[in-house]
Amino acid sequence: MKLRLCLCLATISVVLAGAAPLPPARRPHYGGTLRVEIGATLQSLDPAGVATSREEADAKAELDALLYDQRGEDGTFVGTAGSGPFRLSSWEAGKRATFAANQDYREGRPFVDSIEIQLGRPAHDRVVDLELNKTDFATIPPEQARQATDRGVRVSVSQPNELLALVFLGSRSGKESTRIREAIARCIDRAAIVNFILQKEGEPAGGLLPHWSSGTTFLFPTEMDVRTAKEIWSQISPSPYLVLGYDSTDTLEQSVAERIVVNAKEAGISSVSRALPASGKASPGQVDGSTRGAAIRVDARLVRLRMPSPLPRISLTVFINRLEPIAGIVDSPVPQSASPEDVYYCERSIMNSGLVVPIVWMPQVYGLSARVRDWKQPAAGEGWPLADVWLDSTDPQ
């Protein structure tokens, strides 16, 4: 036994002696320019400015978080531009911007010296540039995450924190309206939307909060039930012709809306999808999403809701406030406490109205170059942590 142990130790010693020494751990260092590409074509970084599309609003919020250090009570950024980790060095509206590190930032200057941002880059071009190492950081649509990974792009995926829901505008009332909404909710094939449209990057949604946040998603069904949808629809006379709206600038919303129309047809429901101008809004009781004179009648529209916090009470409250003017929800409850019971009661109350039909939960997806170090996937409500990353100069530029 002792001889065998000695032989084993001797073998291990020989192997270790012949092995190449481990490379020393890389230490963070300052310097370099982080290259960023986004799809939005921003015309202004003024926090008081109004975004013309959802994509522009999201990008503007992320960039403002790098320039401003404080938020107002309504969540918008206030104070002086450049009080955040970066200051604006150059700006070409709709095309590019350069941020320089703020040497006097209260939490310490960022690791990178500057950030070069290209605006208005299509999703396909962003993925190609990541593949060719022409950029360091870019947003990637969830439906393209799998393709990017297959092409060798380094991808970072968050927990599902953005809800895509079909919201009925507050124009119909009564028992018939309730049946219409229930029939649509039951006929949607959420699993197919996740598997084929989102390429398995997401999960079916039955409630207003994801499972990782509330833990109660099993109480909200997501299965397709065409048979019941047909039975409900047969009780409605005369059968209405439904118009489902989607953001004209959002290709994902278009694909989902067209899929819902196909599902509805299988249940005998007559419907059509219509593109809505990105800046169009619907007021309570209206069915017209109109801009610049041209009215587009819709009965329901797709809406994206991104969680502002991982805490269920905070996110649900924000969602309810956002949905009230769209769906015309009256006296909707807001969670009075953070207890799971209060949160579930409020969520169940909204779901019972049928005005909101959750479809899928989607993650935030980012592409990163090999030289980006210390990247931490932001949680729900957190901005891009670009002030905390550093660039490894040993990787190719």
pLDDT digits (tens, 9 = 90+) for 39-76: 999 998 887 788 888 899 999 999 999 999 877 655 66
CATH number, domain with residue 171: 3.10.105.10
- Does the residue 15 lie in any domain? no
Both 139 and 282 in a single domain?
A: no
CATH number, domain with residue 88: 3.40.190.10
Both 184 and 61 in a single domain?
A: no
Both 196 and 271 in a single domain?
A: yes
Single out the residue of 311, 312, 306, 288 nearest to residue 298, CA to CA.
288
- In single-letter form, the type of residue at position 356 comes to V
Single out the residue of 157, 140, 155, 158 nearest to residue 213, CA to CA.
158
Both 171 and 312 in a single domain?
A: yes
pLDDT band at 269 (very low <50, low <70, confident <90, very high): very high
Neighbour tally for 182: CB within 10 Å? 16
- pLDDT for 174 equals 64
pLDDT band at 173 (very low <50, low <70, confident <90, very high): low
Q: Which of 64-68, 166-170, 289-293, 393-397 has the lowest mean pLDDT?
A: 289-293
Contacts of 345 (CB under 8 A, 6+ apart): 333, 335
pLDDT band at 11 (very low <50, low <70, confident <90, very high): very low
Q: In this predicted model, which residue has the larger pLDDT, 85 or 395? A: 85
- Does the residue 10 lie in any domain? no
Both 56 and 203 in a single domain?
A: no
Both 370 and 276 in a single domain?
A: no
The CA–CA distances, whole Å, from 160 to 202, 270, 310 equal 6, 32, 11
Domains held by the chain: number: 2
Q: What distance in Å separates the CA atoms of residue 109 and residue 141, rounded to the nearest whole number?
A: 31
Q: In this predicted model, which residue has the larger pLDDT, 20 or 266? A: 266
Burial 127-140 (b: 16+ CB within 10 A, else e): bbbbeeebbbbbbb
Q: How, if at all, do strands 372-373 and 390-391 pair? A: antiparallel
Both 51 and 154 in a single domain?
A: yes
- Does the residue 22 lie in any domain? no
Both 121 and 174 in a single domain?
A: no
Q: In this predicted model, which residue has the larger pLDDT, 326 or 129? A: 129
Both 354 and 371 in a single domain?
A: no
Is residue 285 within 8 Å of residue 170, measured between CB atoms?
A: yes
- pLDDT for 54 equals 86
Both 153 and 179 in a single domain?
A: no
With vertex at residue 117, the alpha carbon angle to CA 115 and CA 123, rounded to the nearest 5 degrees, is 135
Domain that holds residue 325: 162-362
pLDDT band at 295 (very low <50, low <70, confident <90, very high): low
Q: What are phi and psi of 195, to 5 degrees?
A: -75, -40
Of the chain, the percentage scoring pLDDT greater than 70 comes to 85
What is the rounded radius of gyration, in angstroms, for the C-alpha atoms of the chain? 25
- Does the residue 265 lie in any domain? yes
- Does the residue 28 lie in any domain? no
Both 235 and 119 in a single domain?
A: no
